[in-house]
C-alpha cells in the first residue's frame, strides 16, 4: 500500500471514529455535565492510549525545544477544540456541526498562507469565500447575530485549524503516539479544570459503558488523525475528511431522528465543493 493510500484510509478511519464518538457523547450529554464527560472519558482514553504507546515502545519524550513548543501549542489547541466542539454538539444537530467542520481544509489553506507565506492564488481564495458563504447557510445568523452554538462551532474550527497547522510543522522525530498521549492528557486536564465550575451527577452502568466505548473509539480517532496528517500527500489525504459528514448524516438520522433542512444541505455542499476544489488546486500547484 502506498503512503497516499495509507493516509486516505487513516483519514477515513479517523472520521468514522470521531463521528461514532460524537454520537455517544451527544447521547450521554443529556444527563451528564460536559466536565464530567471529559474527565471520565479522558481518564479511560488516556490510560488506554498510554498502555498502547508503552506496548509499542513509541512513547518518547526526549524532544528538542522547538518540537516541545509545537507539541504544547497543539495540546492547548486540542483542549480548546474539544471543549468548544462538544459544547456546540450538545446544542446543534450532529450533521450541522459536522458540516461546519468541513471548513477545515479551507481554513488550513488560509492559515498556511497567512502564517507560513504559502502561495494561494485567486482561484483558491475565491473557493475559500464560497466555502464561507456555505458556512453562513449552515449557521444562519439571525437579526440578533450568531447564537451561542454557532460561536462555539466556529471557535472549534479555529482551534482545529491551529492544531492541524502545528502538526504539519512538527519534525519527523516526534512519534505520533507521543502526540496522541499528550493530546488526550491535555483534554483530561481541561476537563478537570472545568469540573470546578460544574456539579457532577450520578453515573449509571449504561452511561459508564457508553463512556468506555467512547474512550476506546477516541483512541482510534486520535491515532488515525495524527498519522493521517503525517503520511502521504496532504492534497490526496485531506479530501477523505469529508466522509465524516456522511457518517454524521446517517448517525444523526438513525440515533437522534435529525435530518438537515435544505439550506443546511446546500451550505454543506458549498463547503465540501469549495474544499475539494481548493485541495485540487493545491495538488496542481504541487505537481506543477
Rg (CA), the chain: 18
- Mean pLDDT of the chain, nearest integer: 85
Q: Which residues contact 131 (CB under 8 A, 6 or more apart)?
A: 103, 106, 270, 271, 274, 275, 278
pLDDT reported for residue 200: 93
- The structural domain count of the chain equals 1
Which 8-state DSSP code applies to residue 173? Answer: T
Which of 3 and 23 is assigned the larger pLDDT? 23
Question: Residue 41 sits in which domain range?
Answer: 3-287
pLDDT reported for residue 287: 62
pLDDT tens digits, one per residue of 185-224: 999 999 999 999 999 999 999 999 999 998 889 888 877 8
Instruction: Indicate whether 20 pLDDT > 90.
Output: yes
pLDDT tens digits, one per residue of 65-112: 999 999 999 999 999 999 999 999 999 899 888 888 888 878 888 888
Indicate the angle between helix axes 3-28 and 94-101, nearest 10 degrees: 140
Cβ burial, residue 266 (10 Å; 0-12/13-18/19+): middle
pTM surpassing 0.85? no
Percent of the chain with pLDDT over 90: 33
Amino acid at each position: 500500500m502506498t503512503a497516499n493510500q495509507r493516509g486516505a484510509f487513516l483519514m477515513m478511519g479517523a472520521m468514522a471514529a470521531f463521528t461514532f464518538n460524537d454520537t455517544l457523547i451527544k447521547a450521554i450529554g443529556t444527563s451528564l455535565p460536559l466536565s464530567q464527560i471529559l474527565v471520565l472519558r479522558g481518564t479511560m482514553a488516556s490510560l488506554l492510549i498510554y498502555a498502547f504507546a508503552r506496548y509499542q515502545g513509541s512513547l518518547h519524550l526526549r524532544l528538542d525545544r522547538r518540537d516541545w513548543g509545537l507539541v504544547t501549542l497543539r495540546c492547548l489547541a486540542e483542549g480548546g477544540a474539544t471543549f468548544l466542539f462538544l459544547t456546540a454538539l450538545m446544542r446543534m444537530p450532529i450533521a450541522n456541526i459536522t458540516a461546519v467542520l468541513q471548513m477545515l481544509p479551507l481554513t488550513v489553506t488560509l492559515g498556511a498562507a497567512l502564517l507560513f507565506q504559502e502561495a494561494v492564488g485567486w482561484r483558491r481564495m475565491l473557493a475559500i469565500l464560497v466555502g464561507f458563504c456555505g458556512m453562513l447557510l449552515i449557521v444562519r445568523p439571525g437579526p440578533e447575530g450568531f447564537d451561542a452554538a454557532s460561536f462555539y462551532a466556529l471557535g472549534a474550527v479555529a482551534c482545529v485549524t491551529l492544531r492541524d497547522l502545528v502538526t504539519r510543522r512538527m519534525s519527523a522525530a516526534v512519534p505520533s503516539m507521543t502526540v496522541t498521549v499528550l493530546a488526550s492528557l491535555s483534554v483530561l486536564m481541561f476537563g478537570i479544570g472545568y469540573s470546578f465550575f460544574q456539579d457532577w451527577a450520578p453515573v449509571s452502568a449504561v452511561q459508564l459503558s457508553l463512556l468506555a466505548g467512547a474512550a476506546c473509539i477516541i483512541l482510534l480517532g486520535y491515532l488515525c488523525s495524527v498519522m493521517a496528517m503525517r503520511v502521504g500527500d496532504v492534497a490526496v489525504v485531506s479530501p477523505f475528511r469529508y466522509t465524516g459528514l456522511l457518517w454524521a448524516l446517517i448517525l444523526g438520522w438513525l440515533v437522534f431522528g435529525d435530518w438537515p433542512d435544505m439550506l443546511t444541505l446546500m451550505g454543506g455542499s458549498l463547503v465540501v465543493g469549495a474544499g475539494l476544489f481548493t485541495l485540487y488546486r493545491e495538488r496542481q500547484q504541487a505537481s506543477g
